[in-house]
Amino acid sequence: MRIGAVLLSALACTLGSSAAEKAPLPLLATIPLPNVTGRFDHSAVDLEGQRLFVTARDGDTVEVVDLREGRVVHSLGGFAQPQGAFYVPSAKKLFVSSARDGTLKIIDGRSLEVVNTIQLSTGANVIAYDPRANHLYIGHGGRQAGDPPTAKRDAGQIAIVDAAKGTQIGNIRTNAELRPGAIVLESGGPRLFTTNAFGSEVVVIDRKKGVVLATWPIPSAERSGTVALDEARRRLFVGTRKPGLVIVLDMDSGRQVTSFPTVDGIDRLLYDAANKRLYATGSPKIPKNVGAIEAYRQVDADHYERLATIPTGQDGGTSLLVPATNRLYVTLPRDGERNAEIRVYDTEP
C-alpha cells in the first residue's frame, strides 16, 4: 500500500509538472493603477527597494509602485510625455526621458526629487544601460509620429550619459530620419544595435568610437520597432509591425536566419536567457482589446516554437522582464470600467 501510494504521488507530481510546462506565464497578481488614464510606455525596476516605475506617457506622470504592497505609493508629475525609464542601482537614481520637451530628468531614488535635467531633442525615448561602463544610451531626435513631410527635426541621435555623474558625455548621430525605436547593447563587445522606428532597418554602432558600422535592411517589413539579443547564441531578434513578425538575424553578419509570426502591433521583445524563452507583447490599433503576450521556446539558435498566447488588452505592449526574480510585468491602460493595471506573471518554467 505504501509503495502504491508513493507511485501514485510520483505520478501526480509528474503530471503536475507536465501541466505546468504546458501553461507558461501563470498570472500571480494584478496591481491597480486607479488614477491613471491614457497610454503607458516604458518601465524600470529597483530590485533592492522593490519598486516599479512606469511612465504614463499620456498623463505626464511616472507611477511608483511598491511591489511588496502591490500598490501605487507615488505619482511623480512635471514630465512632458515621459517615455523611457531606467533605474541605476549603483547611483540610486532614476532616469526618465520625455518626448515632448526632449529632456532627460535625473531623479534621486530616495527623495524622488529631480536633481538634474539634461536637454536632448524632441522625441527622447528609449534608454539602454551598460553596467560595466556605467553609461546610459538614450535615443532622441529624428522623424516623429504624425510629422508632415516638411517638418524640420533634429537628426536621429543617441546620447551618452555618465550615470554616476549625471552628465552627458557624448552623442552619436545616426541619420537625419532615423528615430531610434529600440536599443540593445552587447556585453562582450562595443556594439550597439538600434532600429528605425518608422523604417525597416537595423543600425549597428560602435558605441566606444561613436560611429555607425553597418546598416542592415529588413526587406520583408515596413516598420522595425523592437529588438532583443541572445549574445550566447549570436542572435539578434527584431520585432516588426508591418507585418507582425519576429525576424532572427545573425548578430555578426546581419544575415536573416528565420522568421515567424507574432502579435499584431508588437511593442516589446524580451529574451529570457536563463529559460531560453522569448516574449513578445503588443496590440493592434484595430480591433480593440486583442492585445496579447506571445511566448516562444528557443529550441536552438535557429528554431523557435510558440508556447502560448495570453490575451491582455488594448495598448498592452508596455512590458518589463526581470530575470532576477522570474517576473514579467505588463501594464494595461484603463479600458471602460476597468482601471489601468499592472499584471504580474511568473516566468519560471
Split into its structural domains, the chain has a count of 2
143 lies in the same domain as 192:
yes
Tell me whether residue 48 is in a domain.
Answer: no
Cβ neighbors of 336 (< 8 A, separation 6 or more) are none
Helix (H) or strand (E) holding 193: strand 191-196
Residue 117 identity: T
Residue identified by cell 506622470 is 61
156 lies in the same domain as 84:
yes
163 lies in the same domain as 257:
no
Question: In terms of residue numbers, what domain contains 270?
Answer: 218-349
Tell me whether residue 120 is in a domain.
Answer: yes
231 lies in the same domain as 209:
no
CATH assignment at residue 233: 2.130.10.10
82 lies in the same domain as 212:
yes
Q: What is the pLDDT along the chain (349 residues), one digit of tens a residue?
A: 333 433 334 434 444 444 445 489 999 999 999 999 999 999 999 999 999 999 999 999 999 999 999 999 999 999 999 999 999 999 999 999 999 999 999 999 999 999 999 999 999 999 999 999 999 999 998 876 666 666 767 788 999 999 999 999 999 988 767 778 899 999 999 999 999 877 788 999 999 999 999 999 988 777 767 999 999 999 999 999 888 999 999 999 999 999 999 999 999 999 999 999 999 999 988 888 899 999 999 999 999 999 999 999 999 899 999 999 999 999 999 998 999 999 999 999 9
Q: Of 152, 183, 217, which marks where a domain is finished?
A: 217
User: How many angstroms separate the CA atoms of 268 and 229, rounded?
Assistant: 12
Q: Which grid cell sits at 274?
A: 536563463
User: How many angstroms separate the CA atoms of 186 and 198, rounded?
Assistant: 23
